[in-house]
A and B are shown apart, each in its own frame.
Chain A
């Protein structure tokens, strides 16, 4: 056993610590799930902007139903799909607060699609973090509106056929057309450079709210090794090779006028 000198330790500069905006509660996500990564990125941004104490998170129904145990701020748990409407109510009464929703693709793009589109059309000054893992994770892997053609899910055991199961929805492309959107970007929680780009987009999406610019949404392409039936590495490969081509990364709307478009 090597002896550690506590005094030496104290002199070390911490390089990596838990953001204040995350609680110490251990996360219950499956191994390699990227919900944890997304939580951390949001928390780092809240710390950086110094807004934790006036932030309200709106948790949705999905694997991230426990988000309120992980984010170190006030939280409201919304019914399935209703988070943008709930966020609207909070923001209207507390305009100085920073309000964000954290929603999966079932929550946002299936049962709650109307809420998010109308919140955007009203230019609600809120931030939406949208986790697209192409599956209903919490209910054990059913087809989501974002499941890829051919994707095997528990409700499409022979793969999603577009004739039977419809076409996957591209949420950023849908919302791009809505006036009232201040910031819109799609990023992937894959390679480290992509994660850094995701962090930047989340930062901007909160800045948009702080400037009162209107509705902001960041879609984060995420992996679900459990219900993709893949190892974490295979899942990351699938993210790169199948998800990203179908859901192009990029900044779709930027209120500052510098949206780069599809990348």
Chain B
């Protein structure tokens, strides 16, 4: 049995990292993720972990070192946010393409410019096509649980892909919550020892990592990388189930909330799902058939599962905490819409861009979304496809 302990999100991430005891952490501090590496640095200094902690000069070097450490045969974890993740961008693609198994916790924060330290999802969304798996946690418990599961998912032999563990900057990273922290032994047993696949210095089989790959084979290599996301999806499901069996909290690709007979549905990522749950309960008491579809696994994207889960929906709102400039939409909307289209579902979908740069999301605004969805369900056609929530115009 785990113990109930009050912790901030960053503290919980550091705690998971202590229990996992990775071989290498190469980090550069950035708000709002800093406390996680800072607390972890103390564990290193106090000899509570055997980790080789490298205080590198930038996130670009951090990710370079992490990838190399992973490919050389180590278990590697790191934490960053916003500009730090953006500076890693070049290396993120390399991390996935070379099938490293780095686990990176990201305290989601807005991107410059202008400079802003508060929550939105533009950092991780900017990396959505880099080949990393992306899990989004709603609260401190989920950030902790996802950090542990991320390691198992990343390292599964049929996956071998890096995983991003996303949790909302400040809203989760700096929020105290009473969470269940599992016992060290139980966590270590769950993640198991690290079994590297083809680490460096196998002297019988010398090889090169990341050699030049032109039009003769690059295309095929990308095709084979493409295939990895199918087993990855299965891994997210199976590891989430195994975690539930072991610790009593099960996870999947999605979390449906009052969805079975829901007609008006909000789709959301991260901490906003928590606010939506409250509103759903309130409105259900009034007899309204409203529901929430929380997406936990954004990569791999559960397109078929989303289409299946929205069977009874008559109108949908996608909550987008990142703007896809020039696309006309946020970043989640096109994926959900494509999933519905591919699944043969004809449901009107409205996009709500909200909460950029930490703009507070108010319960009234979630009510407003459901209120605006009702006429959309009735007419079958939204008047306006993309709306901005809580914006002064």
Q: Are A164 and B53 in contact (CB under 8 A)?
A: yes
Closest to B30 in A: A139
Q: List the B side residues contacting A143 at CB < 8 Å.
A: 55
A194 close to chain B: CB less than 8 A: no
Q: Are B83 and A77 in contact (CB under 8 A)?
A: no
Q: List the A side residues contacting B87 at CB < 8 Å.
A: 111
Q: List the B side residues contacting A34 at CB < 8 Å.
A: none
Interface residues of B, count at CB 8 A = 22
Closest to B113 in A: A77
A212 close to chain B: CB less than 8 A: no
| CB-contact partner of B31 in A139, A154, A158, under 8 A | A139
Kindly state the separation between the CA atoms of A155 and B38 in the bound complex, as whole angstroms: 5
Q: Are B41 and A61 in contact (CB under 8 A)?
A: no
Q: Are A140 and B38 in contact (CB under 8 A)?
A: yes
Q: List the A side residues contacting B55 at CB < 8 Å.
A: 142-143, 155-156, 165-166
**Central interface residue in A81, A113, A142, A155, by most chain B CB within 10 Å:** A155
Q: List the A side residues contacting B31 at CB < 8 Å.
A: 138-139
Kindly state the separation between the CA atoms of A157 and B37 in the bound complex, as whole angstroms: 12
Distance to closest chain A CB from B53 (angstroms): 7
Kindly state the separation between the CA atoms of A178 and B31 in the bound complex, as whole angstroms: 34
| CB-contact partner of B57 in A138, A140, A145, A158, under 8 A | A145
| CB-contact partner of B45 in A110, A139, A158, under 8 A | A158
**Central interface residue in A61, A111, A140, A158, by most chain B CB within 10 Å:** A111
Kindly state the separation between the CA atoms of A140 and B39 in the bound complex, as whole angstroms: 12
Q: Are A157 and B41 in contact (CB under 8 A)?
A: yes
B384 close to chain A: CB less than 8 A: no
Q: Are A110 and B58 in contact (CB under 8 A)?
A: yes
Taken residue by residue from 47 to 62, chain B's Cβ proximity to chain A (1 for < 8 Å, 0 otherwise) reads as: 0000001010111000
Distance to closest chain A CB from B37 (angstroms): 7
Q: List the A side residues contacting B29 at CB < 8 Å.
A: 136, 139, 142, 155
Distance to closest chain B CB from A207 (angstroms): 32
With A111-B28, A157-B42 as known contacts, state yes or no: A139 contacts B34, CB within 8 Å: yes
A242 close to chain B: CB less than 8 A: no
Q: Are A155 and B37 in contact (CB under 8 A)?
A: yes
Closest to B84 in A: A80
B391 close to chain A: CB less than 8 A: no
B112 close to chain A: CB less than 8 A: yes
Kindly state the separation between the CA atoms of A111 and B31 in the bound complex, as whole angstroms: 15
Closest to B112 in A: A79
With A77-B114, A79-B83, A158-B45 as known contacts, state yes or no: A110 contacts B38, CB within 8 Å: no
Distance to closest chain A CB from B34 (angstroms): 5
Kindly state the separation between the CA atoms of A140 and B115 in the bound complex, as whole angstroms: 18
Closest to B111 in A: A79
| CB-contact partner of B115 in A77, A154, A155, A156, under 8 A | A77
With A79-B112, A81-B58 as known contacts, state yes or no: A155 contacts B41, CB within 8 Å: yes
Q: Are A156 and B45 in contact (CB under 8 A)?
A: yes
A51 close to chain B: CB less than 8 A: no
A210 close to chain B: CB less than 8 A: no
Closest to A106 in B: B29
Q: Are A80 and B57 in contact (CB under 8 A)?
A: no
Kindly state the separation between the CA atoms of A110 and B55 in the bound complex, as whole angstroms: 10
The 18 sampled A-B contact pairs (Cβ below 8 Å) are A61-B115, A77-B114, A77-B115, A79-B112, A110-B28, A136-B29, A138-B31, A139-B34, A142-B34, A154-B38, A154-B41, A155-B29, A155-B37, A156-B41, A156-B45, A156-B55, A157-B41, A157-B42
4 smallest beta-carbon distances between A and B, as pairs:
A155-B41, A111-B58, A139-B29, A158-B45
5 new A-B contacts, CB < 8 A, other than A139-B31, A142-B55, are: A77-B114, A143-B55, A157-B41, A158-B45, A166-B55
